[in-house]
Structure 1
């Protein structure tokens, strides 16, 4: 700094004489780090400093600028750090700091490892904001393989001045000890990926791969294996829980699923939360287990005027298998059609075949459809074959060979019918319906039974109850209106076929003296006799009349209850009680002894 000092006097024109003053250092070794700021008071006098001259003062601030004259220094020579073995790559282990008394770029630092056994496991970078060294993980750690590391870290100034090199090296070193801490790790598979190829016809339960995992910890816990079912929804595979043997649990089908991507899990027995996984890809190899077949239904047409050797159809086949050498099909007529006189087959050796005519003179009237069975074989091991049928229709064609009509064509109604024709068709249909209804009505009237007088239409039913309760749903009734006219007996019995088997079965137990010619009468007597023979049956009225019961009835009361005397127990001899009453009832309906209806 060079402040201006003035010496002399002021002229009358206002000018003055000035001089220069120089400020110089008085010390040889000034240290910014010891004292950075100085304040100096400068005095200036005129008249050359003689007595009587005037003087003035000023304050001068002096700041020392920094130079890189101090090397970096670590405050401690040994650092102790620790890191979990499960720490991910690039995670921070710790920080180191080398201090420098300089400032600015003279205090910038660069950290590096210069020695140690963890140069490949750890890395160090410099944080320019705080001039610290950050130690990070370079690769995965393993407590079981190496438990500690020792590193020598260096901090140095990147900016140096040549004139200060004689002061010594501008760098410093420290030792860093890093301990790896053990953690409970999940099982690890060896290898980390499995690829398996297996034929699709492998037997169920066959071991296709041994899966192996181990506990990486020192404790070496036992492992249990399983399959992630989300990766094998069809449950085609099974893994042994202790050995890790991967086996088939269902038949494989390459044509359905050719690739299986499953995930096998390994779990520590003592700590189920520790689970490892490994992908397993299973490829199902092709086996010749599908026979070739026609891809569609083949329907060919041959003209009646076709000539021998004429091509009528080209056929091809498909096979779901996928042999490594490619597909090749062989075509021939089926054994039952080997000597077919109408058509022949030519194998083109390119997975296609031609169907050719063997003769001419086809006629629709003689035969309008031919069925030609064709045998298709593949080139697999073993060779598989199937039979496909080609349907050939005989058609009439024009001179150019264009099909005109075939019996295989659907018949199409003409669409140009007139309105009068449609009305005539509908009228005919209506007349036919009326005739059918009349015929049905006449048959219904013919089957109705003969009735003497509609005002005296009296129906009396013989009712049999098999059990108590149920009401009319348990009633089996028989209309005895036919008793009014013996000629209608046979018609009535034919209309009730459901009673005939029971009448026949009961007639075996009725004495010959009670047997009657009429089926109705036989049925009544058989039921009375059955009740009479059953000593445990309650009183049973087999015949009920509804319009003539009570006062004024010609047949009087038909109830068997009147046969019970007051001085004896209830009588179960129904047949003896019913005899006179039944005879009177029969006479009332016109049955007499003369016609043999009863006795």
Structure 2
């Protein structure tokens, strides 16, 4: 609510600035009041609020007040009346000025503005005329003829107009009368005129009373005693060469400078012609500024002149001879102004806290200038220091406004030291300056900025949970809560339900923590979107991407895909043509490693070989090739033990066993799996033994069937009678590979079957799995099983092309 109120006031100020020019002519005219001097304190001068067009509520809301160098008035906060605050003495305030006016400024806020007020102080008859001396001593020669006049000292009355000195009166007597004459400057002075010839011997002294009256109602008066001493004859008074002496003097002349010389002559001779000059009725200030040589009439400066203090001096100079005859003249000294006063800058109102989003033209300060010089020496111009977004608007009566003239940015310039310079137009010009400091108040106008546009982090797998993996940092040039940054994860390519179990971020420091150990083989990389958000209102934020690459460690050994083990875990075999030439590709060891990079670079090495120089193994390919042709002395069956190593540090490895049989066909390769001698005519012997074996098997089978039927007919439940027909006579673990072929490899789906209780490695019968159980039932339950086994063994060893192979 406070923010909206401030915004309405600010918008009101802006509207007032647009409306103000419409009323500018009216506002420029000062408000005038007229009051008599010595008005009682608290007296009402006028209703200022009404004259300014303000309501009673606006008086306090807009802080109506008046300002002046010396405040004689105040404003009633309830009624808006302009009241007398201090004693007002027109003579003290305005000195000898005919027109006495006090200039005030009425200041209102929201928006800030100023109005000019002129209060005219009217004179009242509060001063009685008074003479410089209470007693006037005159010496008049008895030889003076009637009609001779003697100028008397003037009375002074600081009041003006009708209240000033109006007339003089003299107590009636037979010898003297009073004549009031006009001065050249408009004043009046009394002159005592002799009406009757004096006789010193008859009356040597005369006492008169001179009264001065003003024109007030009622009039006020002052008196002076005139003592006249009659002296012996001196009938010619001095005479000045001019009635009025005028001279102009620059205010900068040093003390002791001769200003002018007055000259008077006396037609008398001797002692009666000796003239003495003196000031007559001169104000104390003039007597301190000028000195008069009583003998020569030369007037000099006694101290420095100041035009701003007194612009003109008016003095009366009396020339008196030794016979006490006198005359007088007026001396007017004009003081010429020089540019000896620098302009003054007076700050009347200042707003030193400025929002950085303040609009153009907003009033920051009000100030006025003053120069005590006159003419061009007192004309003042104002200027600002450069490179500041402010300017000056001139107002009336040397008033100025300092307003904004550009965009403000606290982050670039938090404060401005504005130097206001005032210069007059004198020759040479004088100037003065004052500096004000304006503080720019922060608003949340800057979003956080990350130090990097994107972050890339490498984290090795198998890291410790809870460790720090990265830190993001964003800066915000704003102040306070506007610049306080917090961090959070706002998006990721991981599933949201598992994100918190992988990583977390510290809201204060921006440190990213791993919540679990990463596995390169399961997760090689993931991406997070981190947000930096300040605490301003409204809050501003910025996002940055953080890509986490999970580095590989050598934690997986190679795995051999080929050659694969058989279903029972035994190694299979590969055949090699007997006529294979050198370089013939026999087989290929295929292995993989779940790691990556160097950790997955596999190399193949031969650990053991039945014939070391017969085969070669590709270091990187795993290809097994013949190095030379098979020799007569080389065994048909070869065994290679191959190790596969990765490129990790330390390296991990796996082994594979290759069983290689040199044969032109599979049937030829099977007998080579045994270690017995080869008969000279294997084809003939094999056919003979097969015929005999088939005959015996058929006979035994028929006997078994007959026996089974007979036992069934007798309802015998003895399990032994059916022992030859029970399944499972093979090993319960399934078909077995003869132990001596445990490292062989069959390239196709062949299985070697051995009776479950047979331990003789020389008895190998190659048949299909489906017929293994029935055959073993007969062999295990017949009394001729030993003989049959001997025959089958011989036949298998002698025939390399047996057709009992079941595919």
Q: TM-score, normalised by structure 2?
A: 0.26
Q: Which has the larger radius of gyration?
A: 2
Q: Considering Cα pairs closer than 8 Å and 6+ residues apart, tell me whether 1 or 2 has the greater RCO.
A: 1
Give the structure with the higher percent strand. Answer: 2
